[in-house]
Amino acid sequence: MTAFAQPPEPLALYGPDFAADPQSHYWRLREHGPLAPVRLAPGIDALLVTDYQAAVDLLRDTHTFTKDPRAWQATVPEDSPVLPMLGYRRTALFSDGDVHARYRGAINDSLALIEPHALRAEVTRVAGRLIGEFAATGSADLIAQYARRLPLHVLAICFGVEPGDGERIVNGVAGMFNSAENAAVAYADLVEVVTALVADRRACPRRDLTSYLLGHPANLDDDETVRQITLIMSAGHDPTTNLIGNALLHMLTDARYAGSLHGGAMTAHEAINEVLWQDPPLANFAAHYPRHDTEFHGVRLRAGQLLLVSYAAANTQSVPGLSDPGVRSGASAHLAWSAGPHRCPAKQPALLIAMTAIEQLTSQLCDAELDVPVSGLKWRPGPFHRALVRLPVRFTPVDLTTETDRHDAAEGASDGPSEVSISP
């Protein structure tokens, strides 16, 4: 067994230093082997898997490891800021076996109702409206004014969220990922919004995913329905926002994309794929816990110990040395969507939203460029995500007002609930 040096103390994955340069932290962690001790918040430690093969093995091993965090959670203060992300709830994320299959089936069947062609058309429509709001000004923050608002719109129309509750959803999800002092309050507000939504749909079903989940053969009770929806929202909003933002930043700063922001689908596809490999929006997650004391890739583990997978570190590990070189062949072999039975079920709609959002922006504002030096960009602190605070750009002002826009305005077009992307 290879002997690795042990770090003097767990490496902190929170605060501005980690947010500014996570790859240098991953490089330091790799010096200590395939798993290394990290600190997620004050007093909350874990082992982070930074090795690609070890990550794949962990994600696929349902016999040695469980997703149920309750044994670990009993050792954590109830007000810990990481519990909104890691604390037990009755969802597919925190379950195994038949329970997981029941929840996962309801989620998969619900997401299957989102028709791709209708989703693309809806994202194109709202992208055009959002771009039109700032196109004539010559400058914008592409996070606040664009990347954050697009996924929110999709969630609202799919689940039937009232327009006035949209900002509460955004703040609730962002607070969870930030894992700051207000994380528990943010998550509680998100649950409150969804609980009211579920109660309304239980009494008066509509043509949306909330109503479908309530009527699904899995026979979810109200709390189970609330928890699956908050899971989908947290997984669907913040990571998609960050995927759009990180890919746009990649295109704005990588010399290979210079002068080709109007390149269309292939350029957007390449940027997204490179970001998923190099700078995934969900950087560290996939909590697992040994069912019993064991050894994993040469590291002794105790039952109930918290392990996280670093998708970002595993993806950027060099290929030589992998026990199965073929496992990384092909552009889709990155771990940004996780792997194994808990692989992200929303990959296709998330990719479609991000791709369409980038295509629309780059085709209409093809001379956009950063309005600050790259060194002036700030990243949101937090152990789980890779997320820009702002993405300020400047461009040639353009009037994108069309007859369709004027018609939409006359008809009162808004971010309100819609049924266009949900099949019968």
pTM, entire model = 0.89
Q: Assign 266 a pLDDT band (cuts: 50, 70, 90).
A: low
pLDDT on residue 175: 79
Tell me the CA distances in angstroms from 198 to 64, 155, 163, 292, 358, one per residue in order: 36, 14, 16, 38, 33
Q: Which amino acid is at 198?
A: V
User: For the segment 161-181, what is each residue's pLDDT rounded down to a tens digit?
Assistant: 988 888 888 888 877 887 777
Q: Do 40 and 383 meet the contact criterion of CB atoms below 8 Å apart?
A: yes
Distance from C-alpha of 171 to C-alpha of 169, rounded to nearest angstrom: 6
Q: What is the DSSP letter of 87?
A: S
pLDDT mean over 335-349: 95
Work out the mean pLDDT of the chain and round it to a whole number: 88
Distance from C-alpha of 410 to C-alpha of 331, rounded to nearest angstrom: 45
pLDDT mean over 74-87: 94
pLDDT on residue 159: 93
The torsion region of residue 321 among left (phi > 0), alpha (psi -120 to 50) and beta comes to left
Distance from C-alpha of 157 to C-alpha of 163, rounded to nearest angstrom: 9
User: For the segment 204-263, what is each residue's pLDDT rounded down to a tens digit?
Assistant: 999 999 999 999 999 999 999 999 999 999 888 999 999 999 999 999 998 777 655 554
Among candidate residues 124, 358, 399, the one with its CA nearest the CA of residue 241 = 358
pLDDT mean over 65-77: 97
Asked if the model's pLDDT at residue 403 lies above 50, the reply is no
Token couple for 27: 């490089």
Distance from C-alpha of 392 to C-alpha of 390, rounded to nearest angstrom: 6
Asked if the model's pLDDT at residue 23 lies above 80, the reply is yes
pLDDT on residue 332: 53
Residues 6+ apart with CB under 8 A from 401: 132
Q: Assign 423 a pLDDT band (cuts: 50, 70, 90).
A: low
